[in-house]
Amino acid sequence: MSAELTKARNLINSVSTFLKQAKPTPAVSALFEALHIVLREPLIRAEKTEFSTMIQQAVMQLNKSPALRRVYPLIINYTPGEDKALLETLRELSQTLKAEAVDEARDQLADLQKRRSQALEQGRQMLGEQRFDDARQLFAALVKDFPDDATLRSDIAELFMQHELYEDAFNYLDQALDLSPDQIHLYNRIGIALRKLKRFDVAEKYFMRAVGYAKSDPNLYFNLGRVYVDWGRWDRVERAAKLALKLNPQFEQAQKMLNFALNKQGRSD
């Protein structure tokens, strides 16, 4: 027996394994691929008989599969010698299963998004009722279901910031930045949280990271300047304000910041 026919035999034998695992899609694909091989390979009489028997058994197993019947309630017919007809049936069945998989994935995504929204609203209510530990537990469980969702972590951080829980906000913003380090607005938000926590040196480091992604953004330097204002580092306030004004000479708030820094240093522009 050729290598191709050996492959076909193995594919047909795998149908039963997939169905026992309630996986009708790979089971149908395996039989479809095996049938393709059988149709294009020259077979002696004994091989034809062997493969006809194997295919009949595989079709019988498909027809008995509850997982397949749920998606495709029609009986799959097979008569030895009518392999091309079976191939077309399997092609149609494969397309049906793929469409079902897409719909199922879409429904699962919709359910996840619904749970996400409901959990955020529930957490908002908990924070409003000052049930801070309950909210923390809820959000910690929620993010485990969305391991790559930077926006979710940013949304949770905003809820904590609204209730002046800046340490919690910082933790979620830090996670969001690990997932999406190019999101400039996250640096601005984390800068605010760290200012409130008086962790000015840490805030400065985050803004320095942001420069790599938005060195032409005057708001970035202005927000860094606000960190320096709270820190009382007037020379650095001056430098940050000048950088913002260099990028946007009409930036009135940056001009006020510069004047303020110069006054604090006993100087004028």
Whether the Cβ atoms of residue 153 and residue 172 lie closer than 8 Å to each other: yes
Residues 244-258 have pLDDT tens digits of 999 999 999 999 999
Compute the residue count for the chain. 269
Q: How many CB atoms lie within 10 A of CB 83?
A: 17
Residues 212-240 have pLDDT tens digits of 887 888 998 999 999 999 999 999 999 99
Residues 154-172 have pLDDT tens digits of 999 999 999 999 999 999 9
Report the pLDDT averaged over residues 74-80. 86
Instruction: Report the pLDDT value the prediction gives residue 103, as an integer from 0 to 100.
Output: 66
To which residue do tokens 């077309």 refer?
88
Instruction: Report the pLDDT value the prediction gives residue 216, as an integer from 0 to 100.
Output: 86
Instruction: Report the pLDDT value the prediction gives residue 109, as an integer from 0 to 100.
Output: 67
The residue extents of the domains of the chain are: 3-105, 147-264
Whether the Cβ atoms of residue 31 and residue 58 lie closer than 8 Å to each other: yes
Q: How far apart are CA 10 and CA 4, in angstroms?
A: 10
- The CATH architecture to which 147-264 belongs is Alpha Horseshoe (1.25)
Is the confidence at residue 243, as pLDDT, over 90? yes
Instruction: Report the pLDDT value the prediction gives residue 73, as an integer from 0 to 100.
Output: 83
